[in-house]
Chains A and B, each alone.
Chain A
Amino acid sequence: MSEPVIQTRIWQEEAEPDNPFAARAAFCRGYDVYGELLGQIRWVEMLALLFRDEALTKAEADLLEALAVALANPGPRDPAVHAAMCGGVGGSTSAASLIAALAVGAGQYGGGREVFLVMQAWEACGTNLDAWRQWLTAPTTDEVSIWPAPQHKPGFDPHGASTATPVKQALACFVSLNSSARLVWLEQHRAEMEEICGLPLALSFVAAAALADLGFSAEQGEMLHLLLRLPGAAAHALEQRQLGHKKFPFFAIELQHDNAREQA
């Protein structure tokens, strides 16, 4: 068997002289984390540094921080936060509430997979409206995978009536902080894209544009979207734990297949 080593470009550790299992110093992509970064680096700069060698510029850090704020809480109506509250209300473990938020928030309807698919589309279409037109009008693929068959164009709201105000506000704010290629292009062509698709843009499309402009791959963007939406899920789960299950909706049910009733 080969020596059990973990190869990494991200992290390096030096052991304390008296204990090979205790790190005296830890380096993230060459920077001394506890000796130098701590107290100097912004949270979003550290977040980005974990995924890439180059530190963010000031404008990039401002954009990532604004994105983190925009994604921090999808609100209690969002299925992922709803799932976390189901954990809170029954007294499940904190981790279970976050796992629930991740599992539900991983999907193709407003979740991480949707961001992944839009980022793949950004890679393929760039800032070329004709390429987007083709992507928007192409039939959805019928390839079988663990993911359910897509039911709407990723990044658009299948239940939307018009572009939601926060989507427009987030896009405008991101462009003001960092006039990067995709975001600027999206602000200029949002209406045309929506016209071609027949649906209003969703926040996931704007998030995907920001993440792509920050240089993240589709896989990295999916991970960051999953991570950055957790704070709201955590807070709402704890709040419902405090409030208790009697104040949490249980909903009415209409059972459409019931032998007992059908035979009666």
Chain B
Amino acid sequence: MKPLTLLEHVGCLKTQMGACFVGSRAVFRGHDLHAELKDMEWVELFVFGITGRRFSAAQLRMMQALWTYTSYPDARIWNNRVAALAGTARSTGNLGIAAALAISEATIYGRGIDIRAIEFFIRAKKQVEDGGNLTEIVASELKQKRSIAGYGRPIAAADERIKPIMALARSLGLADGDYVRLAFSIEEILSAGRWRQSMNCGGLAAALAADFGLSPQEYYLFSFPAFLAGMPPCYIEAQQKEEGSLFPLTCAHIRYEGVAKRRWKTAED
């Protein structure tokens, strides 16, 4: 069976990523955080931490805007609702918002879509470069997975974020990247066909990230704070209002559809 390789790792962290030398300095991916990196914007440091690479000012501006444009302080939205419920239940803001971010890693929106969307774009572009036909690639993906991440939307047809994202991308000279053009070509195919789906913000954001050179995992980690700015307002308002007053439900709001009332019998041998 396997050798005991874990013994090599006991007691000591060997790392390329960084260290805190308490009382003297902190190293972040090889660089002194308070000297070499001290002028970095937070988003720049965050993306540098994920990728180890530097990005242009225009790209960083766009990345930050992707988070700005997806932060809605609407406490009905499932992830935000968690932050707000923490407020109404008088839990801590940190717990509520951390849980809301964890909830944002969903299958039909958020991180689950993000990673699938960028992975498909990268794969589709390669297939097209290898001589594939985009319509056939899209049809095959739909046949296999029944949906294409980044197209269609669970609760609405159109996505109000596309217009402002594209306006900013154009002003920054980032609107004509290979992946953004591919994303719109896929939208044309999907809207013309029987599928009738348009691109959503998740699709466009993933295409921009792919144009910036992010890998699926890098983009997945980058997207983590995407909804964050909308969450504290939901927590704050719920916490300021009367406790328990957010989305109260009476007993009659439970619609029971299960087994009829019955008597319990203790299980015997």
- Do residues A58 and B268 form an inter-chain contact, with CB atoms below 8 A? yes
- Do residues B13 and A253 form an inter-chain contact, with CB atoms below 8 A? yes
Binds B, one of A23-31, A112-120, A127-135: A23-31
- Chain A residues lying within 8 Å of B4, measured Cβ to Cβ, are 159, 161
In the assembled complex, B42 has its CB within 8 A of some CB on chain A? no
- Do residues B256 and A32 form an inter-chain contact, with CB atoms below 8 A? no
- Do residues B99 and A99 form an inter-chain contact, with CB atoms below 8 A? yes
Q: Of A59, A103, A144, A159, which contacts B115 at CB under 8 A?
A: A144
- With A7-B257, A8-B255 known as contacts, the answer to whether A56 contacts B267 (CB < 8 A) is yes
Output the least CB separation between A230 and chain B (Å): 16
In the assembled complex, A40 has its CB within 8 A of some CB on chain B? yes
Docked pose: A119 CA to B134 CA in angstroms: 37
In the assembled complex, A187 has its CB within 8 A of some CB on chain B? no
- With A36-B264, A160-B1 known as contacts, the answer to whether A23 contacts B251 (CB < 8 A) is yes
Q: Of B12, B112, B249, which contacts A4 at CB under 8 A?
A: B249
Q: Of B111, B112, B251, B255, which contacts A15 at CB under 8 A?
A: B251
Docked pose: A160 CA to B4 CA in angstroms: 7
Give residues of chain A (27-69) contacting chain B, Cβ–Cβ below 8 Å.
27, 29-32, 36-37, 40-41, 45, 53, 55-59, 61
- Do residues A254 and B12 form an inter-chain contact, with CB atoms below 8 A? yes
- Chain B residues lying within 8 Å of A15, measured Cβ to Cβ, are 250-252
Name which residue of chain A comes closest to B123, CB basis: A144
Give residues of chain A (215-264) contacting chain B, Cβ–Cβ below 8 Å.
251-260, 262
- Do residues B2 and A58 form an inter-chain contact, with CB atoms below 8 A? no
Give residues of chain B (5-26) contacting chain A, Cβ–Cβ below 8 Å.
5-6, 11-19, 25
- Do residues A257 and B2 form an inter-chain contact, with CB atoms below 8 A? no
- Do residues A254 and B15 form an inter-chain contact, with CB atoms below 8 A? yes
Output the least CB separation between B140 and chain A (Å): 15
- Chain A residues lying within 8 Å of B56, measured Cβ to Cβ, are none
Docked pose: A146 CA to B180 CA in angstroms: 23
Docked pose: A40 CA to B265 CA in angstroms: 9
- Do residues A158 and B267 form an inter-chain contact, with CB atoms below 8 A? no
Q: Mark B151-176, 1 if CB is under 8 A from A, else 0.
A: 00000000000000000000000000
- With A93-B95, A144-B116, A260-B25 known as contacts, the answer to whether A11 contacts B267 (CB < 8 A) is no
- Chain B residues lying within 8 Å of A14, measured Cβ to Cβ, are 251
In the assembled complex, A198 has its CB within 8 A of some CB on chain B? yes
- Do residues B254 and A11 form an inter-chain contact, with CB atoms below 8 A? yes
- Chain B residues lying within 8 Å of A95, measured Cβ to Cβ, are 91-92, 95
Name which residue of chain A comes closest to B216, CB basis: A144
In the assembled complex, A5 has its CB within 8 A of some CB on chain B? yes
Q: Which A residues contact B (CB, under 8 angstroms)?
A: 3-15, 20-23, 27, 29-32, 36-37, 40-41, 45, 53, 55-59, 61, 93, 95-96, 99, 103, 144-146, 158-162, 198-200, 251-260, 262
12 A-B pairs with C-beta separation under 8 A: A4-B249, A7-B257, A20-B251, A21-B248, A145-B116, A159-B5, A251-B13, A252-B12, A253-B12, A256-B14, A258-B30, A260-B25
